[in-house]
Amino acid sequence: MMHSLQFRLSALLSALIVVIAVLGGVIAFKTAFHEANEVQDGQLLQLVALLTPRTLDVMEREAAEKVVGADPESKLVIQTLDEARPLALPHSLPDGVQNAIVDGETWRVAIKTMSTGTRVLVGQKTLGRDEIARNSALATVMPFAALAIVLLIALHLIVRRMFRPLAVVSGNLDTRPENDLSPVSGDALPAEIVPFVVAINRLLARVQASVALQRRFVADAAHELRLPLTALSLQAERLDAAELPAAARERLDAMRRGIQRTRALLNQMLTLARLQDGNGQARAELRVQEVFRNVLEDLVPLAEEKGIDIGVSSDADVRVHVPQADLTVLVKNLVDNAIRYTPEGGRVDMSTGVTDGMPWLRIEDTGPGIAPADRVRVFDPFYRVLGNDADGSGLGLSIVGTIAARIDARVELANAPPHGLAVTVTFVASPALRQETVTLQ
């Protein structure tokens, strides 16, 4: 199970804020509740202190009791201390503020003995007093709740901001091409993360050294094999000039074809090694139709050997901004693959155009095509579709995929009606180059 450090940190700090806010709220509530009751006790004492024999006589003439306040629960009762009064309390109660129970209800009363010996009281139900105190306490606690909410939101934003550099580094690594082994930048990262980035950079350096050694070995091996292949070719040419029996000449022809295939394989290996080195050439503005013509000049003889009808099926031309050598190798490998896998008497068409402002080129053939399940793996080096007997090394589409990644192009494989394969290469170009389409005369 994966644990998120960001989530755990946010949850821990949020829980801490909530606990502190609850404890602070409880303490503030109790303190405010107690202070509100003390204020109300002070009001009762002030009110009973204002009572004099004269005011009491006036009240006695007007009514047997005086009720102050419209709310029955919060009303004040002013009377003499007499068991016959509404608040029937014994005379033994001392002066001051105290609780008293009348008819099962708790009252808060302030008692005073006047100079005439008459004892008076001001009383109020504790239920109403507690409600007032509770409302006052809640009003005091509400800022704590609002502050806790603000702190939680601020905490979430701060933690996200603190982890944003990690997300940026992760995104950059995730979108890197597979051949980009350059060091990861540790700028703007927390000091605690820098050792981790340093370790990643050391690992990338070791991987880069290992990959470079592997590529150098492949390139050196291909170069070393060229010399014996050249010697074999010379020997085969000398044997071809000699008088040989039919069986020996048949074997000689098979040997020459094998030498030719091996030479083509070595050339592809060298091309792939050069492309994987990442030393890209300068980009130039190229016409795709011109590249088509150059490739056809090299591969028409191969197509004629199999009786394949090959040519450009569209007159439209587009400009692309890519290295000339890369585009030539890409088109040549696609056309070479199409010729090799198209049966005798088949057809290979080359076309180009612009769709949604994006220039593209397409190579279509009438060969067996590639099943959807194999259309991803065919870009792996030396991978060949099972059941196909055509000559090939399995490096053609791998070279195409490597070049496409270098020049910001997208390669798509699809069925070509009625049967065969259509390979479309879409280029990412500047808007000015995307929109230009020239019709050849």
Dist CA 329 CA 322 (whole Å):
12
Residue percentage of the chain with pLDDT more than 90: 10
Dist CA 287 CA 407 (whole Å):
15
Query: In this predicted structure, what is the pLDDT of residue 31?
Result: 86
Query: In this predicted structure, what is the pLDDT of residue 290?
Result: 92
Phi then psi for 361, rounded to 5 degrees?
A: -130, 150
Residue percentage of the chain with pLDDT more than 70: 85
The domain segmentation of the chain, as residue ranges, is: 5-149, 194-273, 282-439
Q: Which residue has the higher pLDDT, 268 or 351?
A: 351
**Contact call for residues 66 and 56 (beta carbons, < 8 A):** no
Class of domain 194-273: mainly alpha
Q: Which residue has the higher pLDDT, 305 or 277?
A: 305
CA 72 to chain centre: 63
Segment 72-110, tens digit of pLDDT: 556 777 877 765 566 777 777 888 888 888 777 888 888
Query: In this predicted structure, what is the pLDDT of residue 64?
Result: 45
Query: In this predicted structure, what is the pLDDT of residue 440?
Result: 43
pLDDT at 215 > cutoff 80? no
What pTM was estimated for this model as a whole?
0.51
CATH among 1.10.3720.10, 3.40.50.300, 1.10.10.60, 3.30.565.10 for 282-439: 3.30.565.10
Tell me whether residue 50 is exposed, middle or buried, using C-beta atoms within 10 angstroms of its C-beta: 0 to 12, 13 to 18, 19 or more: exposed
